[in-house]
A and B are shown apart, each in its own frame.
Chain A
Amino acid sequence: MSPERVGEIVGCCRATAAAVAWALAAATAVAVPVTLHAAPVTIAFSGAVTSDPYGLSMVGAPISGSYTFDTAAPDAVPGSSIGSYRSTGLAYGFDALVDGTFYSTPGAVTVNVANNIGSDQYGVIGSFGDLTLELFLEDFSQTALADDALPAGAPLLAAFGVRSFRLFGSDAEFLGSVDRLACTAGCSAAGLPEPGTLLLVALAGLLWCGGRGRGTTLAVQR
Chain B
Amino acid sequence: MMATAENHWHGSGPTTPQSQSRSLWLLGWLALTAVANPAHAVDGVVLIDQNRALAGNVTPGDAPGFPVTLTLSGSYRLSGNLTVPDANTSAIVVAADVTGVTVDLNGFTISGPTVCGGFPIVCSPLGSGIGVSAPNGARAITVRNGTIVGMGTSAVQLLSSLNTVDNISAISNGQVGIFASLATVTNNRALKNGFNGLLVGNSVVMHNLAVQNGGAGIGGNDNLIVNNTLTVNALVGVAAANSAFSGNQFSSNNGGAANPQFSGRGPIGPNGCDGSVCP
- Whether A and B are associated in the same complex: the answer reads yes
Give A contacts to B, CB under 8 Å: 38, 40, 42, 54, 66, 68, 76-79, 81-82, 84, 86, 88-93, 95, 105-108, 110, 112, 114, 117-119, 121, 123-125, 127-130, 132, 134, 136, 166, 168-173, 185-186
Interface residues of B in 55-71 (CB under 8 A from A): 55-56, 63-66
Asked if residues A68 and B113 are in contact (CB atoms below 8 Å), the reply is: no
Across the A-B interface, the 9 shortest Cβ-Cβ residue pairs = A91-B5, A107-B34, A77-B65, A107-B30, A132-B39, A112-B54, A76-B64, A123-B51, A84-B64
Q: Which residues of B contact A117 (CB under 8 A)?
A: 83-86, 113
Which of B8, B26, B34, B56 has a CB less than 8 Å from the CB of A84? B56
Q: Which residues of B contact A186 (CB under 8 A)?
A: 2
A90 to B9, CA, bound (A): 10
Q: Which residues of A contact B1 (CB under 8 A)?
A: 40, 42, 66, 68, 91-93, 95, 106
Which of B5, B39, B42, B86 has a CB less than 8 Å from the CB of A90? B5
Asked if residues B2 and A128 are in contact (CB atoms below 8 Å), the reply is: no
A-B contact count (CB 8 A): 139
**Size bin of chain B's contact surface:** 35 or more
Q: Which residues of B contact A130 (CB under 8 A)?
A: 37, 40
A78 to B63, CA, bound (A): 11
Asked if residues A118 and B113 are in contact (CB atoms below 8 Å), the reply is: yes
Asked if residues B50 and A123 are in contact (CB atoms below 8 Å), the reply is: yes
Does B124 sit at the interface, judged by CB under 8 A?
no
Q: Which residues of B contact A124 (CB under 8 A)?
A: 51
A81 to B5, CA, bound (A): 31
Q: Which residues of B contact A93 (CB under 8 A)?
A: 1
A127 to B4, CA, bound (A): 20
Which of A84, A127, A170 has a CB less than 8 Å from the CB of B54? A84
> 1/0 contact trace for B150-192 toward A, CB 8 Å?
0000000000000000000000000000000000000000000
**Smallest beta-carbon distance A29→chain B, Å:** 19
A118 to B109, CA, bound (A): 13
A81 to B86, CA, bound (A): 9
Which of A123, A129, A170 has a CB less than 8 Å from the CB of B33? A129
Give B contacts to A, CB under 8 Å: 1-2, 4-5, 8-9, 23, 26-27, 30-31, 33-42, 47, 49-52, 54-56, 63-66, 79-80, 83-86, 111-113
A130 to B40, CA, bound (A): 7
* Overall SS of chain A's interface: strand
Asked if residues B51 and A125 are in contact (CB atoms below 8 Å), the reply is: yes
Asked if residues A114 and B85 are in contact (CB atoms below 8 Å), the reply is: yes
The listed residue with most B CB atoms (<10 A of its CB), out of A77, A82, A92, A114, is A82
22 contacts between A and B (CB under 8 A): A38-B9, A40-B2, A68-B1, A68-B5, A84-B56, A86-B55, A86-B64, A90-B26, A93-B1, A107-B31, A112-B51, A114-B85, A117-B83, A125-B36, A125-B55, A127-B35, A130-B40, A132-B39, A132-B52, A136-B50, A136-B51, A168-B41
Q: Which residues of B contact A125 (CB under 8 A)?
A: 36, 51-52, 55
**Smallest beta-carbon distance B90→chain A, Å:** 14
Q: Which residues of A contact B36 (CB under 8 A)?
A: 86, 108, 110, 125, 127
Asked if residues A82 and B51 are in contact (CB atoms below 8 Å), the reply is: no
Residue of B nearest to A123 (CB): B51
A173 to B45, CA, bound (A): 13
Asked if residues B2 and A185 are in contact (CB atoms below 8 Å), the reply is: yes
**Smallest beta-carbon distance A66→chain B, Å:** 8
